[in-house]
Structure 1
Amino acid sequence: MIPHRNRIIRSGSFWSLKGNTSMGSWMWKRLLKYRQLAKDFFCIEVGNGTKTSFWYANWCSLGRIHELLGDGGFINLGIKSDATVADAIRHHRRRNHRAKILNSIESELDKYRDRGCMVADVAKWRKADATFKPFFSSSETWHRLGAKGRE
């Protein structure tokens, strides 16, 4: 995936790429196609926030910020589209907004700002019992996807 990071993703996020890109191999295009399914199986436990996308990762109790606010959120919050959680904590100054959801996001940021954690972020995957654990099981994920498809 490293060559694709440099050529296709560049400084953005895997989650922010357009699904109709003509770049990359057939496997890469398949990965992009299945992002919608995968996003429900993946979250981040934020440590220092340096590896976690502020907008596209599922890192806070509100869910993915971009899904809540859309592209207008970049302007409303004044946080760049490629920002990490660490960038938002370090460079964003809290404001009071008219929209309740924006104030809720500011409160989420404050929780992490006050923590001052120095450990690395941890990627977590949904298990059969619907909890998130820091390891991936393809068989459990496959069974959950199969069950989801039969519902």
Structure 2
Amino acid sequence: MANVTSGSWIWKSICKLRPLARPFVVCKVGTGITCSFWSDNWTELGPLLELTSDRGPMVSGLSKHAVVADAVREGNWWISRSQSRSPIILLLKECLPPPSVVNMREDGEDDMYLWKVGIDEASSSFSTARTWEALNPPAQRDEWYASVWCKNRIPKHAFITWLVARNRLHTRDRLIQWGLATPSVCLLCAQEDE
């Protein structure tokens, strides 16, 4: 992992986006020799270190830098024989998929890192548009949208109506609340506002 304190400002900016990109990167376990057991997103629940915190490696006895292949002993998870009542051990037993589902074989294919957007299937291709939509979902249109922004609108009227709908029109009472020197007399009836 690169040192975030060295390098250009653009590299530092990209490194700061890692927490945002992490949920999109999933690992399909092949041989299990490159996929990090604690840090990579290879289970359905995300990185196991986020579930167990730093106590996970301490309580389980599996190094923080261990790979998935290190966690398998004779075709089973190393933890399957443990009789510990530690909540972290019990949580790991529930979270880990059966070793047959992971399907690790020494002669199998290498671990693959894939891009997954939302509930879609993980893929080796990256789509900027789908990722943008996942990070910035479109807002729902308001009921008044079609009335204000219709085809035959007068732009000035549409803009003022939009300000009213958003409660952002600078009316006299609002200007007075801001402390601006504005007459408090009504323009229509010439009476003092209460």
Matched, 1:88 2:60: no
Asked whether the 8 Å contact 2:32–2:104 carries over to 1, the reply is no
Kindly report the root-mean-square deviation, in angstroms, between the aligned alpha carbons of the 2 structures.
Answer: 3.0
Asked whether the 8 Å contact 1:53–1:85 carries over to 2, the reply is yes
Distance 1:23 1:78 in 2: 33
Distance 1:101 1:112 in 2: 23
TM-score (norm 1): 0.70
- Out of 144, 147, 151, the residue aligned to residue 137 of structure 2 is 147
- Out of 2, 10, 20, the residue aligned to residue 37 of structure 1 is 20
Matched, 1:50 2:33: yes
Q: 1:69 to 1:88 in 2, by over 3 A?
A: same
- Higher RCO, Cα 8 Å, sep 6+: 1
Asked whether the 8 Å contact 1:89–1:112 carries over to 2, the reply is no
TM-score (norm 2): 0.56
- SS of 1:144's equivalent in the other structure is helix
Letter in 1 for 2:116: R
Distance 1:53 1:114 in 2: 14
Alignment of 1:1-150 (within 5 A): 5=1, 8=2, 21-89=4-72, 93-94=78-79, 95-106=82-93, 108=96, 111=99, 115-117=103-105, 118-127=108-117, 130-147=120-137
Letter in 2 for 1:42: V
Asked whether the 8 Å contact 1:128–1:140 carries over to 2, the reply is no
- Could you report, residue by residue, the CA deviation over 1:83-112 in whole angstroms, capped at 9, with x for unpaired residues? 111222259733233135523524626525
Distance 1:63 1:30 in 2: 24
- Could you report, residue by residue, the CA deviation over 1:38-81 in whole angstroms, capped at 9, with x for unpaired residues? 12211111111112111111101232110001111111111111
Asked whether the 8 Å contact 1:43–1:58 carries over to 2, the reply is yes
Unaligned runs of 5+ in 1: 10-20
- Percent identical pairs in the alignment equals 30
- SS of 1:123's equivalent in the other structure is strand
